[in-house]
């Protein structure tokens, strides 16, 4: 929905106002550092506890303990943002057309959105740890519908301004966080006493939480520093184009995150039970699923960025300013997505050192280069660094991981899990690009892209052994079901 309604946001509010929406997304990512790994810790611990007997009291007490800390952090985030509103509006952002007073009001509203929205992530992590995925998705779908589609109605009927946009987001954040909190507490196992804050539970998880905090801090620098620099260097309009390109590329995470969400508790449970074989089977199956889901989509966007952007925005200026950014950022995001489940495996084993060390080394090597490229080449330089960073993860970091976890299975990951689906999808998409006619109507262009994408999906699925076998088994079950009915 966020992807679909962006052209309407721009049409109703203007491209510069959308730049503030992009800046808000950067703030959300920056303040992710204050999560301190609590969401992932809650996810992992609830998944582990649910696999062990007589842990209901600890589960409830853990939620209450971490919940108390999290709400304190949410209040701190809101206070910091609101306090910095005058500085950001008057001295940081390069505003050209919007009144400074309006920008300052929008940033104050951003602080309120952050304060009320922040705990939503925490409660979501708890529901996922309990593996209540359907309930979690139902609430999340409602939240996204209100957030993205509902705000269009409000902008259209009430006032097409950035302050109206963020005022509505405050209201939606309050409702969504309340519903998610209620859902988590109602799905925790019952206990004889009221849940209570326990310092000993904080001590028991502090090592993992500290490791996650270190990872979050380094990830923040590696993924958001480009936006922070560009928000200062570029006019707000040009920063809006970069934010738009990032939104297209980051939409790929809508395919990777659900797999991570579904598989991480499973990894954690199998690790807690010492089921190494089960971990290996789940790891390769889910890695192949990730490849089949994201590689065809990523390749379509990389090869056909101008056509997709035109269908989406119907604005030639937007296409000109974003097409190469979209292609580069999508390549980097696809590489990052492939490392999603190797990262989940590390967290399931409680091994945070590798990711933290890798990110720290990347900061030392790439941040100076990022400053140079963004200063000289602007947004394109930042996009190139994103590709370079994630290439290093795939080519180097995975080697170190498989020296300790699932030893010697990296060859299978490169060939079966990634290589075969990639080659199959690449053949289909490159062939489609070669025969794609020029000057098609919008409807014909859309249909042609869908056909190429579907063929790429099918080819990639057939090339991935685990996905292919799953598909064959499902078709046999369906045929057997029809036979029994007959």
Residue 237, pLDDT score: 77
Task: Name the domain boundary from 197, 220, 244.
Answer: 197
Residue 350, pLDDT score: 84
Contact 116, 177 (CB under 8 A): yes
Q: Are residue 143 and residue 42 in the same domain, yes or no?
A: yes
| Confidence label for 254 from pLDDT (cuts 50, 70 and 90) | confident
Contacts of 212 (CB under 8 A, 6+ apart): 35, 36, 37, 40, 41, 347, 352
Most confident of 40-54, 176-190, 284-298: 284-298
Contact 82, 141 (CB under 8 A): no
Res. 193: pLDDT tops 80: no
Full residue range of the structural domain in which residue 441 is found: 233-469
Q: What is the mean pLDDT of residues 265-271?
A: 84
Contacts of 238 (CB under 8 A, 6+ apart): 321, 378, 379
Q: What is the mean pLDDT of residues 147-173?
A: 89
Q: Are residue 80 and residue 163 in the same domain, yes or no?
A: yes
Res. 43: pLDDT tops 80: no
Q: What is the mean pLDDT of residues 200-223?
A: 70
Q: What is the mean pLDDT of residues 59-64?
A: 82
Q: Are residue 155 and residue 281 in the same domain, yes or no?
A: no
Count of Cβ atoms closer than 10 Å to residue 24 Cβ: 22
206 is a domain residue:
no
Res. 199: pLDDT tops 60: yes
Q: Are residue 136 and residue 243 in the same domain, yes or no?
A: no
Residue 460, pLDDT score: 95
Measured over the CA atoms of residue 279, residue 284, residue 287 and residue 289, the dihedral's sign is: negative
Contact 215, 359 (CB under 8 A): yes
Question: pLDDT higher for 57 or 276?
Answer: 276
Contact 267, 283 (CB under 8 A): yes
Residue 482, pLDDT score: 67
Contact 253, 303 (CB under 8 A): no
Q: How many angstroms separate the CA atoms of 331 and 334, rounded?
A: 5
Question: pLDDT higher for 304 or 225?
Answer: 304
Least confident of 198-207, 242-251, 255-264, 443-452: 198-207
Q: What is the mean pLDDT of residues 94-102?
A: 82
Q: Are residue 126 and residue 182 in the same domain, yes or no?
A: yes
Burial 158-196 (b: 16+ CB within 10 A, else e): eebbbbbbbbbbbbbbbebbebbbebbeeebeeeeeebe
Q: Are residue 185 and residue 240 in the same domain, yes or no?
A: no
Question: pLDDT higher for 93 or 156?
Answer: 156
Cα angle, residue 326 at apex, residues 342 and 458 outer, rounded to 5°: 60
| Confidence label for 332 from pLDDT (cuts 50, 70 and 90) | very high
Q: What is the dihedral of CA 35, 36, 39, 44, to 10 degrees?
A: 170
Residue 485, pLDDT score: 60
Q: How many angstroms separate the CA atoms of 25 and 279, rounded?
A: 35
Contacts 24+ apart (CB under 8 A), 174-178: 174/116, 175/146, 176/117, 176/120, 176/139, 176/142, 176/143, 176/146, 176/147, 177/116, 177/117, 177/119, 177/120, 177/123
Average pLDDT, the chain: 85
Residue 483, pLDDT score: 66
Q: What is the mean pLDDT of residues 62-86?
A: 88
Res. 39: pLDDT tops 80: no
Q: Are residue 389 and residue 290 in the same domain, yes or no?
A: yes
Q: How many angstroms separate the CA atoms of 287 and 418, rounded?
A: 8
Q: How many angstroms separate the CA atoms of 298 and 390, rounded?
A: 14
Backbone conformation region of residue 408, classed left if phi is above 0, alpha if psi is from -120 to 50, else beta: left
480 is a domain residue:
no
From residue 154, alpha-carbon distances to 81, 98, 99, 148, 412 in Å are: 25, 20, 21, 11, 51
Q: What is the mean pLDDT of residues 30-36?
A: 70
Q: How many angstroms separate the CA atoms of 121 and 106, rounded?
A: 23
Least confident of 93-97, 463-467, 480-484: 480-484
137 is a domain residue:
yes
Most confident of 50-54, 117-121, 405-409, 469-473: 405-409
By C-alpha distance, which of 73, 413, 362 is closest to 225? 362
213 is a domain residue:
no
- Convert the pLDDT of each residue in 443-475 to its tens digit: 888 999 999 999 999 999 999 998 888 888 887
Q: What is the mean pLDDT of residues 324-336?
A: 94
- What's the predicted TM-score (pTM) here? 0.68
Task: Name the domain boundary from 197, 214, 246.
Answer: 197
Contact 303, 430 (CB under 8 A): yes
| Confidence label for 145 from pLDDT (cuts 50, 70 and 90) | confident
Most confident of 9-18, 56-65, 397-406: 397-406
* Burial of 142 (C-beta count, 10 Å sphere; 0-12/13-18/19+): middle
Q: What is the mean pLDDT of residues 414-433?
A: 94
Q: Are residue 366 and residue 430 in the same domain, yes or no?
A: yes
Q: What is the mean pLDDT of residues 380-384?
A: 88
151 is a domain residue:
yes
* Burial of 410 (C-beta count, 10 Å sphere; 0-12/13-18/19+): middle
218 is a domain residue:
no
Q: Structurally, how many domains does the chain consist of?
A: 2
Res. 222: pLDDT tops 90: no
Residue 209, pLDDT score: 67
Q: How many angstroms separate the CA atoms of 311 and 4, rounded?
A: 11
226 is a domain residue:
no
Q: Are residue 90 and residue 163 in the same domain, yes or no?
A: yes
Res. 91: pLDDT tops 80: yes
Residue 486, pLDDT score: 57
Q: How many angstroms separate the CA atoms of 219 and 359, rounded?
A: 7
Q: Are residue 193 and residue 260 in the same domain, yes or no?
A: no
Res. 202: pLDDT tops 70: no
478 is a domain residue:
no
Q: Are residue 160 and residue 257 in the same domain, yes or no?
A: no
Q: Are residue 268 and residue 192 in the same domain, yes or no?
A: no
Q: What is the mean pLDDT of residues 282-287?
A: 93
Contact 208, 38 (CB under 8 A): no
Q: What is the mean pLDDT of residues 180-191?
A: 83
Start-to-end CA span in the chain (Å): 42
Res. 410: pLDDT tops 80: yes
């Amino acid at each position: 929905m966020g992807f679909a309604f962006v052209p309407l946001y721009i049409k109703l509010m203007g491209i510069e106002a959308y730049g503030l929406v992009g800046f808000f997304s950067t703030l959300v990512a920056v303040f992710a550092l204050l999560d301190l790994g609590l969401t992932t810790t809650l996810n992992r611990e609830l998944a582990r506890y649910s696999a062990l007997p007589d842990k209901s009291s600890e589960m409830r007490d853990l939620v209450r303990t971490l919940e108390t800390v999290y709400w304190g952090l949410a209040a701190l985030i809101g206070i910091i943002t609101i306090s910095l509103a005058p500085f950001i509006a008057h001295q940081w952002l390069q505003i050209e057309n919007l009144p400074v007073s309006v920008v300052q009001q929008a940033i104050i509203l951003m602080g309120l959105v952050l304060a009320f929205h922040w705990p939503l992530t925490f409660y979501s992590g708890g529901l996922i740890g309990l593996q209540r995925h359907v309930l979690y998705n139902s609430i999340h779908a409602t939240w996204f519908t209100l957030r993205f589609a509902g705000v269009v109605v409000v902008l259209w009927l009430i006032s097409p301004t950035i302050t109206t946009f963020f005022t509505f987001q405050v209201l939606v954040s309050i409702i969504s966080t309340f519903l998610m909190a209620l859902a988590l507490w109602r799905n925790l196992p019952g206990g004889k006493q009221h849940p209570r804050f326990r310092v000993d539970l904080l001590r028991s998880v502090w090592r993992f939480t500290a490791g996650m905090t270190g990872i979050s801090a380094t990830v923040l620098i590696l993924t958001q520093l480009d936006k922070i620099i560009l928000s200062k260097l570029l006019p707000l309009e040009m920063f809006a184009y970069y934010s738009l390109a990032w939104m297209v590329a980051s939409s790929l995470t809508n395919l990777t995150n659900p797999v991570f969400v579904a598989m991480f508790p499973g990894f954690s449970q199998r690790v807690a039970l010492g089921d190494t074989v089960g971990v290996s089977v789940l790891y390769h199956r889910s890695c192949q699923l990730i490849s089949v889901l994201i590689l065809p989509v990523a390749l379509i966007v990389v090869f056909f960025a101008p056509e997709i952007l035109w269908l989406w925005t119907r604005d030639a200026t937007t296409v000109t300013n974003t097409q190469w950014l979209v292609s580069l950022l999508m390549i980097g995001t696809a590489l990052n997505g492939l490392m999603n489940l190797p990262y989940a495996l590390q967290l399931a084993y409680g091994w945070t050192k590798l990711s933290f060390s890798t990110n720290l080394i990347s900061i030392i090597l790439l941040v100076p280069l990022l400053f140079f490229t963004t200063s000289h080449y602007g947004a394109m330089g930042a996009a190139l660094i994103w590709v370079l960073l994630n290439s290093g993860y795939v080519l180097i970091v995975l080697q170190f991981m498989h020296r300790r976890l699932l030893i010697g299975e990296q060859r299978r990951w490169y060939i079966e899990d990634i290589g075969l689906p990639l080659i199959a999808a690449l053949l289909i998409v490159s062939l489609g690009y070669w025969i794609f006619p020029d000057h098609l109507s919008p409807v014909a262009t859309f249909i042609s892209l869908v056909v190429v994408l579907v063929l790429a999906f099918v080819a990639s699925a057939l090339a991935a052994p685990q996905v292919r076998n799953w598909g064959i088994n499902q078709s046999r079950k369906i045929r057997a079901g029809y036979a029994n009915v007959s």
